[in-house]
Amino acid sequence: MRFMVIVKATKNSEASVMPSEKLLADMGKFNEELVKAGVLLAAEGLHSSSKGARVKFSGGKRTVIDGPFAETKELIAGYWLWQMKSLAEAIEWVKRCPDPMPGEESVIEIRQVFEAEDFGAEFTPELRQAEERMRAQVAAKK
């Protein structure tokens, strides 16, 4: 199972306060453990929402909303993508993680990623083949 592990934004991350050298080193060590365990698929930090935008869909209309966005607790500061055996395993790894936002209340959310079989009959063999071709093209470009 794949899990997206989401580091929620805080006032400091939204103010573009950069992590300390110690936190960067601690996170680097944690990420090395994930790599050695063979479970890390991706890991990235995100710029504050002031450098982002949202596109709102309403019927056939698209509206662009420029950042920053007001509800900090709803925003994402970074993420990992992990391959785990279970949600319980992902939780155990998160509990070992350095506090991503020292001095502030930190929240890390864990969400399972959909796999093809999760979509049922609506994900037809033709759609599955198209998905597999796309994933192969992406992998070939890496």
Mind listing the pLDDT tens digit for each residue in 48-87? 999 999 999 999 999 999 999 988 888 999 999 999 999 9
Please state the pTM of the whole predicted model: 0.89
Give residue 100's pLDDT.
96
pLDDT reported for residue 13: 95
Residue 108 and residue 120: Cα distance in Å, rounded?
A: 30
Identify the three-state secondary structure at position 76.
Answer: strand
Please check whether residue 20 is in contact with residue 123, taking contact to mean a CB–CB distance below 8 angstroms.
no
> What is the per-residue pLDDT across 107-137, written as a single tens digit (0 to 9) for each?
999 999 999 889 989 999 999 999 999 999 9
The owner of tokens 């996170």 is 27
Topology, domain 2-115: Alpha-Beta Plaits (3.30.70)
Mean pLDDT of the chain: 95
For residue 50, which amino acid is it?
A: S
Tell me how far apart the alpha carbons of residues 20 and 22 are, in angstroms, rounded to a whole number: 5
